[in-house]
Amino acid sequence: MIDIDDLLPAATEADVRVLHERLAERAATDGILDVAYRTLDTPVGTLLLAATERGLVRVAFDGEGHEAVLAALAARISPRVLEAPKRLDTAAQEIEEYFAGRRHTFDVPLDLSLSSGFRRQVLDHLPDIAYGHTASYATVAALAGSPRAVRAVGTACATNPLPVVVPCHRVVRSDGSFGGYRGGPEAKRTLLELEATA
């Protein structure tokens, strides 16, 4: 008996990678790639980057569980999610430049559709906190137009879909202590120390 697998050449990793790249290109060309993603190794661990056609929509830390983040994107944005690194080349380059100390602000287009209401207002004001500086939760609440909404600012920072790029790590407690961070306290410390030494 002849096994069909014996007649077919074994696919190498390179073959699979080429086929995947072709699939991603075709999906983008046909307009059926709603969420592209890739990973990027950084000093704070491997980040998952995801983008829609409008811009970078999600940056996720290892601790968030990349598979869970992709499942959430499929549920909230579109099930048409595919690893397609090319869409994220600019974002990856800017993040690498940031970690190398050569970039202090991000220019990559952002898709903030995962945030709304007051949380979105807070995210809109976070880039106003200059590189190498911090602001208290109370200060950010005042900037967002609700001086008494300090806890809501904490929630907005904790649910920021674009950490690192939208700098919620620069928001600290009034006494100067770090407070929480989506990527964990060590990631927040690393980002603040990076900015302090650049």
Closest to 49 in 3D by CA, of 41, 34, 38: 38
Residues 48 and 20: their CA atoms lie apart, in Å, by 18
- Calculate helix-pair angle for 117-125, 150-158, nearest 10 degrees: 80
- Active site residues per annotation: 168
| H helix and E strand count, the chain | 8, 6
CB 57 within 8 A of CB 76: no
